[in-house]
């Protein structure tokens, strides 16, 4: 039976138990979903079912508990693969986006890069898409170049052609900035790179795009696409690395251990094909099943309904915060998700965050794991408000009221 969502967006919030509670004695206004999203009841129930039911390790047991848990785990893989337009043999489970990028850097990078080879990143990357490549540079002597960010918080793609050379082996970039909310033109970037040299590998960090828009990895055209479960209304400790089957086949294992091997002798080992060869040891069983429940929940609501709801809220949030004379906003891209980073004139972001907490409003403060981007804009950090599908106009009203209070207290 096909489920049909008949609840309008205003009722989606009720699906998230935590949002019915309080924070600092006030009704919860959760505006930190870019860091980690709240969980719907269906995901919580899926996790509880695994833990309270016939839990067992997977792939190895011949008894009923193991067979049923294995079936649920692999069914979740199929649903998650379909969710992003990929195949199951291309869908590798990791702990998070960070591990997915480290996997590519350690496996493909060490096997294919040498001193003098070039990697192109961007100035707006999360540290997860910077540090692994810095480590590889220090180890192998590769060269890293960066696509600049404009004053409006967009990539200066006019510079991409100057950065691409015969030595370019990889281009890796974020689909959506976690600090600016800017949606980068991923297909355009992939097309430009492929036109220059079809052999250059491309990785897209989809941590912030997967929770807010329909992803089709075939249509995007990259070699890898990574995202994390906890931002997608799923559990922590589970992420996904999608990779083209041919690319994954050529990559050596990232870690060694149980469940990724074909044979082991005292003289050596042989390995399974992807995705198994990248999933050493007991996986995050309940978390994978929980992520499967999360994508089911999104499918139930429908991307069209989610996109319409979030676009209206995002436009309202950006318009209202930009209109305030006491705030300075980072970036002004019109192609954005519901993420706005700002500072209050003359006040520290941490002070703003603490006052908002007392009003029941949860925001993130600091550099948002984007220190080079903060430096680009000449700030140490910002206050960041970020929306999700459960956000409402009342959340924006509460944020503004809390900012009014902060302005009075700090004046």
Q: How many CB atoms lie within 10 A of CB 194?
A: 15
Place of tokens 């590519």: 104
Closest by CA to 114, choosing from 136, 133, 91, is: 136
From the list 369, 371, 379, 410, the catalytic residue is 369
Place of tokens 């603490």: 354
Cα–Cα distances (Å) from 376 to 144, 152, 209, in that order, read: 17, 12, 23
| CA separation for the pair 95, 89 (Å, rounded) | 18
* β pairing state of 201-205 and 168-174: parallel
Q: Is the preceding omega at residue 275 within 30 degrees of 0, hence cis?
A: yes
List the structure tokens of 294: 């999360």
| CA separation for the pair 202, 198 (Å, rounded) | 10
Within 251-322, where are the H helices?
285-301, 303-322
Q: At what angle do helices 303-322 and 285-301 cross, to 10 degrees?
A: 80
Cα–Cα distances (Å) from 377 to 80, 123, 151, 345, in that order, read: 37, 11, 8, 15
List the structure tokens of 30: 């959760």
Place of tokens 């918080």: 153
| CA separation for the pair 202, 160 (Å, rounded) | 14
Catalytic residue list contains 369: yes
Q: Please check whether residue 105 is in contact with residue 117, taking contact to mean a CB–CB distance below 8 angstroms.
A: no
Identify the three-state secondary structure at position 284. coil
Identify the three-state secondary structure at position 90. helix
Place of tokens 């206004």: 29
| CA separation for the pair 239, 96 (Å, rounded) | 4
Closest by CA to 334, choosing from 153, 138, 191, 201, is: 153
Q: Please check whether residue 240 is in contact with residue 93, taking contact to mean a CB–CB distance below 8 angstroms.
A: yes
Q: Please check whether residue 183 is in contact with residue 154, taking contact to mean a CB–CB distance below 8 angstroms.
A: no
* Positions marked active-site: 369
């Amino acid at each position: 039976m096909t489920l049909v969502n008949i609840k309008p967006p205003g009722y989606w919030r009720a699906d998230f138990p935590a949002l019915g509670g309080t924070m600092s004695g006030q009704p919860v206004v959760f505006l930190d979903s870019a860091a980690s999203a709240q969980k719907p009841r269906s995901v919580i129930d899926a996790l509880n079912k695994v833990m309270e039911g016939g839990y067992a390790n997977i792939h190895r047991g011949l008894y009923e508990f193991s067979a049923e848990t294995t079936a649920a785990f692999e069914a979740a893989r199929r649903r998650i693969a379909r969710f992003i337009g990929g195949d199951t043999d291309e869908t590798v489970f990791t702990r998070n986006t960070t591990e997915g990028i480290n996997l590519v850097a350690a496996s493909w990078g060490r096997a294919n890069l040498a001193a003098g080879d070039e990697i192109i990143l961007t100035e707006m990357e999360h540290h997860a898409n910077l540090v692994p490549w810095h480590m590889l540079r220090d180890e192998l002597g590769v060269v890293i170049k960066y696509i600049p960010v404009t004053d409006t918080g967009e990539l200066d793609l006019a510079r991409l052609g100057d950065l691409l050379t015969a030595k370019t082996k990889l281009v890796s970039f974020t689909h959506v900035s976690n600090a600016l909310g800017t949606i980068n033109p991923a297909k355009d970037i992939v097309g430009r790179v492929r036109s220059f040299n079809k052999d250059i590998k491309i990785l897209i960090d989809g941590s912030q795009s997967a929770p807010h828009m329909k992803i089709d990895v075939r249509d995007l055209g990259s070699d890898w696409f990574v995202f994390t479960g906890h931002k997608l209304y799923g559990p922590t400790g589970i992420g996904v690395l999608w990779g083209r089957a041919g690319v994954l086949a050529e990559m050596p294992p990232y870690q060694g251990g149980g469940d990724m091997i074909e044979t082991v002798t005292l003289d050596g080992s042989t390995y399974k094909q992807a995705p198994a060869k990248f999933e050493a040891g007991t996986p995050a069983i309940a978390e994978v099943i929980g992520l499967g429940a999360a994508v089911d929940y999104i499918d139930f609501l429908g991307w069209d309904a989610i996109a319409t709801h979030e676009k209206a809220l995002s436009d309202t949030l950006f318009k209202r915060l930009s209109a305030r004379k006491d705030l300075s906003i980072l970036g002004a891209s019109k192609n954005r998700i519901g993420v706005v980073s700002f500072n209050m004139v003359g006040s520290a972001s941490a002070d703003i965050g603490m006052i908002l907490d007392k009003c029941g409003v949860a925001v993130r403060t600091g550099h948002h794991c984007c220190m080079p981007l903060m430096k680009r804009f000449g700030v140490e950090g910002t206050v960041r408000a970020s929306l999700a599908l459960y956000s409402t106009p009342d959340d924006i009203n509460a944020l503004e009221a809390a900012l009014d209070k902060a302005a009075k207290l700090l004046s």
